[in-house]
C-alpha cells in the first residue's frame, strides 16, 4: 500500500514534500503498475493508490518556491517512460524473432498504452497549472494516437 500524504490542511500548514520523498512514493506506484502489467502477482492498482499519487504530485506542484518541483517532476515523468522502453520493452522484443517478436511487440504496445494513461492521470497537475504562471510547463510530448489491434492470425 502506498503511503498517503494529506491535502486537508491549508497550504500554509501543510508539510513540505521534498523532491526525493515524493518521488520515492511515485516510484513505488510506477513499479506496482509495471509489475501488474507484466503479470507479477501484486495487489490491484486501486483508486486509493491513484489518489495518493495524484495528491502527492499536486502538492509538490503547488508548494511555494523553492519547493515547487513541477519542472523536476516533469523531467522525471519523461524519464519513467524512456527507462521503461529501454529496459523492459526493447529487451523483451530483442529476445524474440519472427511472429513471436510481433506478438511481443503488440503485447508491449498494449501495456505501454495502459501505463501511459495510468501514469499520465497521476501527473495531470503538471499540465493543469495556470498557463499565466511563468513556470507553466507545456508537455513537450504527446501520447501516441490510438490504434487498432493488428490481426496476427493471418
DSSP string, 44-105: ---HHHHHHHHHHHHHHHHSPTTS--HHHHHHHHHHHHHHHIIIIIHHHHHT--HHHHHHHH
- Domain segments of the chain as ranges: 19-126
What's the confidence (pLDDT) of residue 128? 54
Task: Report the distance separating Cα 81 and Cα 1, nearest Å.
Answer: 23
Q: What is the model's pLDDT at position 23?
A: 94
Give pTM, 2 decimals.
0.66
Pick the CATH number of 19-126 from 3.40.50.10420, 3.40.50.720, 2.60.40.60, 1.20.1310.10: 1.20.1310.10
**The cell 495510468 sits on which residue?**
118
Which position has the grid cell 510481433? 102
Q: What is the pLDDT along the chain (154 residues), one digit of tens a residue?
A: 555 454 455 556 678 999 999 999 999 988 988 888 888 877 788 888 888 988 998 898 888 889 988 889 888 988 988 998 898 888 889 989 999 999 999 999 999 888 888 888 888 777 654 445 444 444 444 444 454 454 555 4
Amino acid at each position: 500500500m502506498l503511503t498517503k500524504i494529506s491535502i486537508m490542511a491549508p497550504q500554509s500548514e501543510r508539510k513540505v514534500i521534498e523532491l526525493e520523498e515524493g518521488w520515492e512514493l511515485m516510484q513505488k506506484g510506477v513499479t506496482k503498475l509495471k509489475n501488474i502489467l507484466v503479470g507479477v502477482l501484486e495487489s490491484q492498482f486501486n483508486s486509493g493508490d491513484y489518489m495518493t499519487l495524484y495528491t502527492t504530485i499536486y502538492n509538490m506542484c503547488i508548494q511555494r518556491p523553492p519547493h515547487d518541483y513541477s519542472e523536476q517532476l516533469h523531467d522525471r515523468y519523461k524519464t519513467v517512460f524512456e527507462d521503461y522502453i529501454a529496459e523492459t520493452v526493447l529487451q523483451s522484443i530483442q529476445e524474440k524473432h519472427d511472429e513471436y517478436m510481433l506478438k511481443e511487440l503488440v503485447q508491449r504496445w498494449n501495456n505501454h498504452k495502459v501505463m501511459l494513461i495510468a501514469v499520465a492521470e497521476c501527473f495531470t497537475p503538471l499540465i493543469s497549472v495556470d498557463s499565466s504562471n511563468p513556470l507553466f510547463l507545456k508537455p513537450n510530448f504527446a501520447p501516441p494516437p490510438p490504434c487498432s489491434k493488428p490481426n496476427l492470425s493471418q
